[in-house]
Amino acid sequence: MPIVVQKYGGSSVADVEKIRKVALRVKETRERGYQVVVVVSAMGDTTDELLALAKQVSPDPPRRELDMLLTCGERISMALLSMALQEQGVAAISFTGSQSGIITNDAHSQARIVEVRPYRIQDELARGKVVIVAGYQGVSYKREVTTLGRGGSDTTAVALAAALSAESCEIYSDVDGVFSADPRVVPDARKLETLSYDEMQELASAGAKVLNAQAVEFAKAKGIVILARTAHAAGTGTAVQEVAPADTRVRGVTAEAEMAVLSAAVEAVKLPELLEFLDARGVRGRALAFDGLMGQGRTFIAVPLQDVHGLEVLKRDVGARFGEAVTLREEVGTVTAVGAGMNADWSYLRRALGVAEELGARVHAVHTSPLQLTLLVDKQHLKPLTARLHREFLGA
């Protein structure tokens, strides 16, 4: 029997009634002749609630203990879904990440999967059971519990699909696929039927919430087709796979508000010193702009806040180490347009800067790559700039 891996996000398992609906969908898949592996996120806002609880105890929780705490959320979901399936007469069993054979490096709170040994999963599938796996987590080669960073349940699902040679990897969320912009910001945003791995990874890393960037990277490396669908109704969704670049250069526009920007004076702080400081604290950057001609200028590093669990402590440490030579700003965010070949000339950048000027949005920095154009602006301009650039580049 072919294997299907299905992943359900937190909103899809937010309460008991929704868990029962997921169980019915899984049962229907099983009845169509598939072996089913289900990856679940924590219920609703459980992860945020656990994180808030940790910060009541410590402003900068130890990463190891944070992993021990946060992995509880997915374990709740997996056990409840297993119970719901068994109530419907479907044999099922739940496994944690470590029981599933998901081996990671030892980078607590943002671990990367290095190997999958799905022997227990294969054994239970052979016994006719549905296997439910706690997403977002694994075990390091040091036998420590680890988490894969926010959105890491997507990565769990793709990694298992690759290891099990699954027929498909289905990622279920509130929306039916990937849109050209957030429909809450741009009501006329279009659903994209297909996206290349590279396009999807750029959108995900720039703030699009439907899929996790590391999961897309893993899928590309393993050749796994991801089907992003809604958990609440029938729909065609979006297929993320290896496809030729689309005719339309700009495929989507997205914004990222949950971030901070480190700005350093080049003449006062050497870039390797600043990067070493960030690495020592596990602080990752999404984009870096460096102007160091003639020993003058500034360095800008965009830092997503989803994995910075001690922001106030980071601010304190930056001040203690670098003084006024390095500033950390939270009032800015990024708006990013993604598309193959969009930086073949300067026309898109010129148009983007013109739109920003029309809106009165000051552009603090620009980052470009073959697939991406990013503007760093004040947060109050993120939504209007996203909507205007979508209309400018996609005509809606």
Provide the annotated binding site for ATP. 7-10, 184, 209-210
Residues tagged in the binding site annotation: 7-10, 47, 74, 184, 209-210
Q: How far is CA 310 from the centre of its chain?
A: 20
Residue 64 near residue 140 (C-beta atoms within 8 A): no
Q: What angle do CA 247, 252, 253 make, to 5 degrees?
A: 140
**In whole angstroms, what is the distance from residue 142 CA to residue 150 CA?**
22
Residues tagged in the binding site annotation for substrate: 47, 74
Q: Which residues pair with 253 in a beta bridge?
A: 337
133 SS3 class: strand
Annotate 46-105 with DSSP letters as a single string.
HHHHHHHHHHHH-SS--HHHHHHHHTHHHHHHHHHHHHHHHHTT--EEEE-TTTTTEEE-
